[in-house]
Amino acid sequence: MMTASDLLWLVGFPAIVAAVLAGVLLVRRGRGWSRRRVILTASVPLPLLGALLCVGLFVNAMLSSPERCGVDACGMVMAFAFFGLAYAAGAFLLGAAAATGIVYSWGRR
C-alpha cells in the first residue's frame, strides 16, 4: 500500500520540478509578463495533462456498456479518475507554490 510520502514523490515531485524549470525559463525570457501569469503558466501544464487523462478515463467508464464493465471494473476506474483529479489539483498547488518561490526570489535580484 502506498503511503502519503510515496504519493508526494509520485505526484508532487515531477510537478514541482516542471514548475521550477518553467518558472526559471519564464522569468528569464518573459520580461513583460506579470507574476501571476508566469506562476500559472509554469504550474499548469503537467497537472493539466494528468487531469485530462483522468477526465477521459471517467467519461469512457461512464459511457461503457454494462457487459463491458463486468462486476465493478467501471466503478473502480471512475473512483481512480476521481482521486486522480484530486492528485492533479494537489500537484497544481505544489507546482504553484514552487513557481511562486522562484518568481519572487528571482524577481528581487
Q: What's the pLDDT tens digit per position in 25-81?
A: 777 776 677 888 888 888 888 888 888 888 888 888 888 888 888 778 888 888 888
Q: Domains of the chain: which residue ranges?
A: 9-107
- What is the rounded CA–CA span in Å between residue 38 and residue 85? 23
Chain centroid to CA 66 = 31
pLDDT bracket for residue 108 (50, 70, 90): low
The distance between the two most distant Cα atoms of the chain, rounded to a whole number of Å, is: 62
pLDDT at 34 (0 to 100) = 81
For 105, the grid coordinates are 526570489
Backbone angles phi, psi at 32, to 5 degrees: -90, 5
- What is the rounded CA–CA span in Å between residue 52 and residue 82? 12
Cα-based angle 76, 44, 84 (whole degrees, multiple of 5): 10
Instruction: Work out whether the CA dihedral 44, 29, 109, 20 comes out positive or negative.
Output: positive
pTM of this prediction? Answer: 0.74
16 pLDDT more than 60: yes
